[in-house]
Structure formats: C-alpha cells, structure tokens
C-alpha cells in the first residue's frame, strides 16, 4: 500500500513538472517571441510595396533626392527589412557605405540597433564594406554610425564582432580605429581565434595608447 502511494505521488510529481514546464515555455513565448512577431506584423501592415521597392532602388542608385522624398513621405520604410535578403533600406545604405543616404535616414530615426537575419547591425555592415573595399579611404559612413551611438562591439549570430572581422581580413587601419574607439575582445576569443593583425600590432607596440592596459594584456 505504501509503495502504491509513493508511486501515485511520483506520477503526480511528473505531471506537475510537465505542467510547470509547459507554463514556463508559454510565458517565455509571450514575453520574448510574441512582441517580435507583432512588431514584424505591424511593420509590414499597410506598407506600400512599391514605395519600399522604390526606396531600395534609390539606395542602390545612390539617389539622395529620391531617397529623401520617399523617406519624408513614409519614414517607417527605413527600418523595414526586405523579404528577399532581410536588409532594410538603412542597412543597405550602410552595406554600400552611402554616407549621404545614411545621414538622411538617421535624421528620420533609422534604427541603428536593428539586426539582419544573420545578426548584422548597420555598423557591422559598414565595416564589412570597407573590408571588401580596402582601397576606399572614405570612412565617413562608419564615423556617422559611430557618432549616432552604434554599438561597435555588437557581434553577428556567428559570434564575430567588427574588430574580429577587420583583424581576420588584415585591415590594419580599421583594427586600429576600432581599438582606439574602445572595441576590445575577451581573452577567450583571442585564444580561440588567432588574429595575426592584432598579434603584429602588439609586437610593434602600435596598440593605441588610449586602450586600457587590461585590454592590451589580453592580446
């Protein structure tokens, strides 16, 4: 009889645990996932697809006048991701380092923290442009995003930061600038991914003096 009671209590305990887990999962969905889903639904509701496509085209053609007119007419288009590649018009401007367009959109409340489907921020995309085009010296797009308050330490979904990206591709000037602006890596990341440019900068004693000593020692 005692064993039977214990067995019943055990079954009740399992049922209660399963119920508790279900409730926790539902609450987590409501708290975390639902707001994101609703945000995208609201973003795409009442969106003029022709206007959105026109804005993307204006960005690709670096047409500042058309971009300004479209953004002025419908500011929310700036932050709406394209259904094909997941980039918003603002992200596309950053990805192609269109500084004038970036500044226009920043004046119309472009979201500097918005991430692509790969976890790339607008600042990350601007850094990527300079890595693809190392001969381009005009870094005004990166500067505009930095002074707008962009998080220069934000990683993509694979865990790569702008500094790591610049270091892996050997972009010394960009690495120096990011370090100078306060971008740093943890010892664990540096040990896991050997970055020759950072190692060389340390050996040549070219790490910016403004970088905290703690940050230097982890390199």
Domains in the chain: boundaries = 1-45, 47-151, 160-219
Q: What is the pLDDT of residue 192?
A: 47
Q: Which of 22-36, 57-71, 165-179 has the lowest mean pLDDT?
A: 22-36
Q: What is the pLDDT of residue 86?
A: 87
Extract the tokens encoding 199: 């190692």
Distances (CA, A) of 66 to 54, 58, 72, 82: 9, 6, 10, 18
Q: What is the pLDDT of residue 125?
A: 96
Query: What pLDDT band is residue 210 in, cutting at 50, 70 and 90?
Result: very low
Say whether pLDDT at 184 is over 70.
Answer: no
Task: Rank 8-17, 36-45, 83-92, 207-216 by mean pLDDT and report only the highest.
Answer: 83-92
Say whether pLDDT at 215 is over 80.
Answer: no
Say whether pLDDT at 219 is over 50.
Answer: no
Query: What pLDDT band is residue 19 in, cutting at 50, 70 and 90?
Result: low
Residue whose structure tokens are 């959109």: 105
192-200: average pLDDT: 51
Contacts of residue 74, Cβ cutoff 8 Å, sequence gap at least 6: 48, 51
17-23: average pLDDT: 67
Say whether pLDDT at 128 is over 80.
Answer: yes
Q: What percent of the chain has pLDDT over 70?
A: 63
Q: What is the pLDDT of residue 18?
A: 64
Q: What is the pLDDT of residue 169?
A: 86
Query: From CA 91, how far away is CA 82, in angstroms rounded?
Result: 10
Q: What is the pLDDT of residue 5?
A: 54
Q: What percent of the chain has pLDDT over 90?
A: 42
Distances (CA, A) of 78 to 11, 92, 191, 195, 219: 55, 10, 39, 35, 39
User: Is CATH 1.25.40.20 what the domain over 47-151 is classified as, yes or no?
Assistant: yes
Q: Is the dihedral of CA 112, 210, 129, 69 positive or negative?
A: positive
Q: What is the pLDDT of residue 4?
A: 47
């Amino acid at each position: 009889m005692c064993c039977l009671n214990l067995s019943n209590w055990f079954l009740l305990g399992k049922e209660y645990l399963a119920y508790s887990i279900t409730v926790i999962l539902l609450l987590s969905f409501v708290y975390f996932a639902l707001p994101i889903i609703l945000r995208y639904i609201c973003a795409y509701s009442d969106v003029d697809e022709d206007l959105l496509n026109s804005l993307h085209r204006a960005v690709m053609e670096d047409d500042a006048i058309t971009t300004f007119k479209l953004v002025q007419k419908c500011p929310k288009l700036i932050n709406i991701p394209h259904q094909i590649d997941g980039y918003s018009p603002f992200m596309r401007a950053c990805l192609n380092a269109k500084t004038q367009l970036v500044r226009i959109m920043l004046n119309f409340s472009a979201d500097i923290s918005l991430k692509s489907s790969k976890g790339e921020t607008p600042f990350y995309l601007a850094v990527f442009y300079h890595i693809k085009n190392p001969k381009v010296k005009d870094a005004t797009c990166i500067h505009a995003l930095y002074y707008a308050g962009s998080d220069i330490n934000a990683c993509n979904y694979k865990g790569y930061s702008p500094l790591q990206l610049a270091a892996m591709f050997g972009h010394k000037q960009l690495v120096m600038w990011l370090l100078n602006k306060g971008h740093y890596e943890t010892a664990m990341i540096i040990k896991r991914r050997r970055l020759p440019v950072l190692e060389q900068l340390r050996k040549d004693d070219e790490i910016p003096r403004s970088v905290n000593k703690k940050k230097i020692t982890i390199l």
